[in-house]
Amino acid sequence: MKKTISLSISPICLAIALGIMTGPAQAKPVTWEDIKNDAATPEDVLGYGIGPKAQRWSDLNAINTKTVGKLTPAWSFSFGDEKQRGQETQALVHDGILYITGSYSRLFAVDARTGQRLWSYSHRLPEDIRPCCDVVNRGAAIFGDMVYFGTLDAAIVALDKKTGKVVWKKKFADHTEGYTMTGAPTIIKDQKTGKVMLIHGSSGDEFGVVGKLFARDPKTGEEIWMRPFVEGHFGRLNGEKSTPTGDPKAPSWPDDPNSPTGKVEAWSHGGGAPWQSASFDVETNTIIVGAGNPAPWNGWARTSPGGNPADYDSLYTSGQVAVDPSTGEVKWFYQHTPNDAWDFSGNNELVLFEYQDQGKTIKATAHADRNGFFYVVNRENGQFIRGFPFVDNITWATGIDPKTGRPIEVEGQRPPLPEPGQKHGKSIEVSPPFLGGKNWNPMAYSRDTGLFYLGANHWKEDYWTEEVTYTRGAAYLGQGFRIKKMYDDHVGVLRAVDPGSGKIVWSHKEKLPLWSGVLATKGGVIFTGTGDGYFKAFDARSGKELWKFQTGSGIVSSPITWEMDGEQYVGIASGYGGAVPLWGGDMADLTKPVPQGGSFWVFKLPKH
């Protein structure tokens, strides 16, 4: 009998052979369109904040107020390496793979279906890094075939997303001066030139760095422009010195005729570092980012001798900055805390949202500042619209002047200079303390309720001035502090805030400080984590706690949700650390029972 061998290729084989079908092994490149539409494509999470507006909103609703009670872990992933501490990351998801940054400048690619580690990258850190607030990282960016993240030695690394191999690595500053990078970079597309750019800043204000925002070519890492956030410092464009930020004479910083620069010492080390992630307004082609606190914290070092702090705003610190992606020029600036004497900073996330006012659509930013006030600012021109408190018992200001947009300061709330012969100034009690009414942990905006959901804290501090002189690589504060409890029954308070009325719609108290990002979903569910290790779900309308799960270590990261194989998943990192246990005074005791950790958790509804 003669055998007939028939050579047949199935359509699936053919598709694979032609590279049409993709799986984790052959993941698609990420395009700008993918990133722009992130909030509308629930199968992936491609940027910090979930979309350029950073609303942390998802259209998914399989997990909803009715079903969330059944939410159950699908898998967990250990970061490993005998490295734990704070895990402040927000993961990305693309083509069935999670990209998760970990403490100590690590990045893991993990199969989103199984939790299996596909590759990991552990950045070789020098011994002399100077992270102010733990060895955290808040997330990666993704574009093309690469994932990007910042490292604690002031570098940014691009990795091949399939293999984890380094494609390029750029050191952007000297880490021994205090520069680090903890925030997630942002991918934007300059709507004028069509250039896709990687935008990132740095941390380091506690060491007297000059805060700078960078734009890079994501393919090569080459710098396109750099913009410093201390008035009078010069930017860079295409490798050349460009324009000064603001007035080259920097009138918002005192002169000092005895100084080689002609300005006070602080001006040369003035802070303003944009260490959180930038948001991007595609329509107006504007990068919007928070600028850090001025350095040093001691406001008298940024005020002329015997002068009035109100005359020296320490621009462009402790405010929100709009930057032109084509040139790196400042388009507008709105300052939350002029001559910030409290380390309030302006770094907290800028959420872009729209609302109707007398038939007009207002394009705004929303920002809950460490200073305790929630700001709505017109993002087309930087005009202040409204500001209101989102925490109790703010002592440093009674409100924001609706005409000028400047805080109405309370006298005696700037820590006074030491009396002659004294090394420390008189201690005053201030609220919020420098850790903020809310810190970096990003809020979410619900497109359904129109409310913002944020993890705030009720605490206060004793605050006093100290002598301060800049020493390279040393802390540059000029202020001492002790964080204290405000209430006996809670520190953390999860709140739903109406950006129109300024009303606190609901509050949910937590014993420990809240340091976790928030996620809002079409299912009417708000997700966030707690310092004592619970991942929790709340009813967006009532604030009722609907579900919780104990993850074993404290949660100080930001949740995400995505759809895979027809099911909705929710993911969050667990691992306690960050600024609170390091700087938190009374809080350090409160959080002492919380073990460190380092793991990622994925949840879904059971099928049965």
Which residues contact a copy of itself (rule: CB under 8 A)? 69-70, 72-85, 114-117, 120, 532-533, 549-553, 574-576, 593-600, 606, 608
Strand, helix or coil for residue 561: strand
Min. distance of Cβ 122 from a copy of itself in angstroms? 11
Nearest residue (CB) to a copy of itself, 124 versus 608: 608
Neighbours of 315 (CB within 10 A): 28
Min. distance of Cβ 593 from a copy of itself in angstroms? 6
Is-catalytic flag, 589? no
Please name which of 591, 466, 574, 564 lies closest in space to residue 516, comparing C-alpha atoms.
574
Between CA 598 and CA 546 the distance in angstroms is: 25
Nearest residue (CB) to a copy of itself, 112 versus 497: 112
Nearest residue (CB) to a copy of itself, 19 versus 606: 606
Min. distance of Cβ 81 from a copy of itself in angstroms? 6
Min. distance of Cβ 527 from a copy of itself in angstroms? 17
Nearest residue (CB) to a copy of itself, 305 versus 606: 606
Between CA 130 and CA 294 the distance in angstroms is: 18
Burial of 170 by CB count in 10 Å (0-12 exposed, 13-18 middle, 19+ buried)?
middle
**C-beta of residue 319 within 8 angstroms of C-beta of residue 406:** no
Min. distance of Cβ 375 from a copy of itself in angstroms? 37
Nearest residue (CB) to a copy of itself, 3 versus 608: 608
Burial 179-204 (b: 16+ CB within 10 A, else e): bbbbbbbbbbbbbeeebbbbbbbbbb
Neighbours of 590 (CB within 10 A): 19
Token match 């060895």: residue?
135
Please name which of 84, 92, 74, 88 lies closest in space to residue 133, comparing C-alpha atoms.
88
Min. distance of Cβ 121 from a copy of itself in angstroms? 13
Between CA 608 and CA 602 the distance in angstroms is: 18
3-state SS of the chain: helix, strand, coil percent to 5?
A: 10, 40, 55
Min. distance of Cβ 546 from a copy of itself in angstroms? 13
Q: What is the DSSP string of 72-141?
A: EEEEEEE--TT--S----B-EEETTEEEEEETTTEEEEEETTT--EEEEEE----TT---TT-S---B-E
**C-beta of residue 22 within 8 angstroms of C-beta of residue 96:** no
- Considering the candidates 34, 313, 340, 343, report the single residue annotated as catalytic: 343
Nearest residue (CB) to a copy of itself, 68 versus 315: 68
Nearest residue (CB) to a copy of itself, 110 versus 477: 110
**C-beta of residue 577 within 8 angstroms of C-beta of residue 596:** yes
Neighbours of 236 (CB within 10 A): 18
The phi and psi torsions of 287 (rounded to 5 degrees) equal -85, 130
Start-to-end CA distance of the chain, whole Å, equals 53
Q: From residue 489, how far is each of 372, 392, 486, 530, 549 by CA, in Å? A: 20, 14, 9, 15, 21
Nearest residue (CB) to a copy of itself, 433 versus 577: 577
Min. distance of Cβ 275 from a copy of itself in angstroms? 24
Please name which of 294, 320, 302 lies closest in space to residue 208, comparing C-alpha atoms.
294
The residues carrying an active-site annotation are 343
